[in-house]
Amino acid sequence: MSPDQVLLFIGAALLLALAPGPDNLGVLALGVSRGRGEALGFALGCAAGCINHTLLAVLGVSALIAASPLAFRTLQLAGAAYLVWIGIQALRSRGAQLANLDAPSTATAGFFPYFRRGLIANAINPKVALFFLSFLPQFIRAEGWSAPLQLAVLGALFALVAALVFSAIALAAAPLGAWLRRRERLTRWLDRATGGLFVGLGILTAAGIR
């Protein structure tokens, strides 16, 4: 793979990661409402989900999903349901608990639960799978490495770029969230806003809008 090929791909991946979407908006909302650990977990989980779509693209499974409208719609609805479930959990959260989210005793707080949520939310999104299937091949060169190997490398690079961008968003949003969480009257509304965002994303996914 040539340097110009890699640099061109990294530039495109950076722009795509920065463009407003369900992943980075979710990271931003969690950074404000929940804190650094939760936002970083969700951010890196979403980035790790890109590896799953890379493997699907390499193996050609994404092409099978694209060829079957029923399979695509089933996965789309599953992803929508999961986003709505995340939103409902946030809507049901008691705002006063946000003041002490760093405590180990908080069952739903911390890096790993939100890493798992981000991973699942990204990995079961069929639109991301189809995006990888259509986006990655645009940067494959006929000469040099085999096409599957190039796909694997490009997918890993995309996941790395997404991890860096999403983590930066999480770290930037966390200080603002920490300041807001000291205002107890605002904490419940922060969770409601976060929950509303995820529920809205789930509805848009189910409607096939995003």
Reported as a single tens digit per residue, the pLDDT across 142-198 is 677 787 888 899 999 999 999 999 999 999 887 876 665 566 566 666 667 767 766
Q: What is the average pLDDT across 98-118?
A: 62
Joined tokens for residue 191: 């969770």
Which of 117, 102, 83, 92 minimizes the C-alpha distance to 191? 92
Reported as a single tens digit per residue, the pLDDT across 49-104 is 999 889 888 887 667 666 777 876 776 677 678 778 777 876 776 553 333 333 33
The answer to whether the beta carbons of residues 76 and 126 sit under 8 Å apart is yes
Q: What is the average pLDDT across 106-128?
A: 80
Q: Place 45 in a pLDDT band, splitting at 50, 70 and 90.
A: very high
Compute the Cα dihedral for 134, 143, 157, 59 and give only its sign: positive
Does residue 209 sit in helix, strand or coil? Answer: coil
Q: DSSP states of 162-201 as a string?
A: HHHHHHHHHHHHHHHHHHHHTSHHHHHHHHHHHHHHHHHH
